[in-house]
């Protein structure tokens, strides 16, 4: 079952096309990433899907509701985390969720209390429920903002740059919780991000967009395979890999050599046959080989190559 479907979704602002004929599908329970540089059209897409703004042309359905003919149904079915957490910092965590729960129409007090406690415990904020948000760290505010977006238990959650500005520990915690929400509750989550680490670690499918248009769509592994075509040989040597790269480039079966973070990455028509030749050339040239592995490019390499290719 599809949770989100768009066909030719387009938005123009005074002649500028922010989103250009975007078409994609997101299955129920999937974590879908809209990946692209700043200004690619990610936030505008989410604003259309959540009925904050209307499309210039094209169509979309969210949780079975048409964004043009049933915007009220869409708004009831989605939770949104914007780049700005939009919390009331003079209120406590508990008071924030109480306010938003009532705003979303949860009228019965016992139901509100149970839902709020469930969320605060899930996000590990129950012990801080009576603290004012102004004293929270940025990571705690981000967790509370996601809890606020979930307070009415929507089937679809939109997260716009959920780990932006967070330290590595807080960012990992947010990623882990996103994965847990999808797995436990079959909640559909659409993440807008330019952070490749977020997309690679949590998304089941990714769409790379640039200048408002889709460049490519697929799982992170599929995008790596598209760019790689075949595995590469990854060699780690003691010292500076760049100083030994020319030894490998002279091997006839080698197609290309890159050095990234000290690793020598070798492309060959037949990696299994080329690997012994690579090691032999390095050892004969005085290199101390620490490890040899077959590897695929990271999503970051695939992304940068796709963006460059599209340009």
Q: Residue 216: give its domain's CATH number.
A: 3.40.50.300
Q: What is the rounded average pLDDT of the residues 282-294? A: 91
* pLDDT value for 51: 96
Residues 216 and 238 in one domain: no
Q: Which two tokens stand for residue 309?
A: 């290719």
Rounded to an integer, what distance in angstroms lies between the CA atom of residue 240 and that of residue 2? 50
Tell me which of 226 and 255 has the higher pLDDT. Answer: 255
* pLDDT value for 197: 82
Residues 93 and 168 in one domain: yes
Q: What is the rounded average pLDDT of the residues 30-36? A: 93
Residues 104 and 65 in one domain: yes
pLDDT(62) > 60: yes
Among 156-160, 165-169, 229-233, the range of highest mean pLDDT: 156-160
Q: Which pTM does this prediction carry?
A: 0.78
* pLDDT value for 227: 61
**Residue 76 resides in a domain:** yes
pLDDT(231) > 80: no
116-142 pLDDT tens trace = 999 999 999 999 999 999 999 999 999
Residues 242 and 213 in one domain: no
**Residue 303 resides in a domain:** no
Residues 124 and 207 in one domain: yes
> Where is 189: in which H helix or E strand?
strand 188-193
Residues 119 and 19 in one domain: yes
Residues 240 and 209 in one domain: no
Q: Are 119 and 151 in contact (CB under 8 A)?
A: yes
* pLDDT value for 89: 95
The count of structural domains within the chain is 2
**Residue 309 resides in a domain:** no
175-194 pLDDT tens trace = 998 998 888 778 999 999 88
Residues 100 and 178 in one domain: yes
Closest CA to 293 of 236, 226, 223, 222: 236
Among 143-152, 167-176, 265-274, the range scoring the smallest mean pLDDT is 265-274
**Residue 290 resides in a domain:** yes
Give the domain extent around 20. 2-224
CATH of the domain at 268: 3.30.70.100
């Amino acid at each position: 079952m599809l949770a989100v479907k768009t066909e030719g979704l387009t938005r123009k602002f005074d002649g500028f096309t922010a989103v250009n004929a975007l078409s994609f599908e997101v299955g129920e329970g999937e974590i879908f990433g809209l990946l692209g540089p700043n200004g690619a059209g990610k936030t505008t897409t989410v604003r259309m899907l959540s009925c904050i703004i209307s499309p210039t042309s094209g169509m979309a359905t969210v949780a079975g509701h048409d964004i043009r003919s049933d915007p009220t149904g869409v708004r009831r079915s989605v939770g949104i985390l914007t780049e700005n957490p939009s919390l009331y910092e003079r209120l406590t965590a508990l008071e924030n969720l109480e306010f938003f729960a009532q705003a979303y129409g949860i009228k019965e007090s016992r139901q509100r209390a149970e839902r709020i406690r469930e969320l605060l415990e899930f996000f590990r904020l129950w012990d801080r429920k009576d603290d004012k948000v102004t004293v929270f760290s940025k990571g705690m505010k981000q967790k509370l903002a996601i809890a606020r977006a979930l307070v009415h238990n929507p089937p679809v959650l939109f997260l716009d740059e959920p780990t932006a500005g967070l330290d590595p520990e807080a960012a990992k915690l947010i990623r882990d919780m996103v994965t847990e929400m999808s797995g436990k509750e079959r909640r559909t989550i659409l993440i807008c991000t330019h952070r490749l680490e977020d997309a690679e670690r949590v998304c089941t499918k990714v769409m790379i967009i640039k200048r408002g248009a889709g460049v490519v769509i697929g799982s992170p592994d599929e995008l790596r395979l598209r760019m790689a075509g075949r595995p590469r040989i990854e060699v780690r040597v003691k010292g500076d890999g760049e100083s030994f790269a020319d030894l490998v480039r002279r091997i006839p079966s080698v197609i290309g050599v890159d050095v990234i973070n000290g690793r020598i990455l070798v492309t060959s028509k037949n990696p299994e046959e080329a690997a012994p030749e690579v090691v032999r050339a390095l050892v004969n040239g005085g290199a101390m080989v620490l490890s040899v592995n077959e590897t695929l490019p990271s999503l970051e390499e695939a992304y940068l190559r796709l963006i460059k290719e599209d340009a």
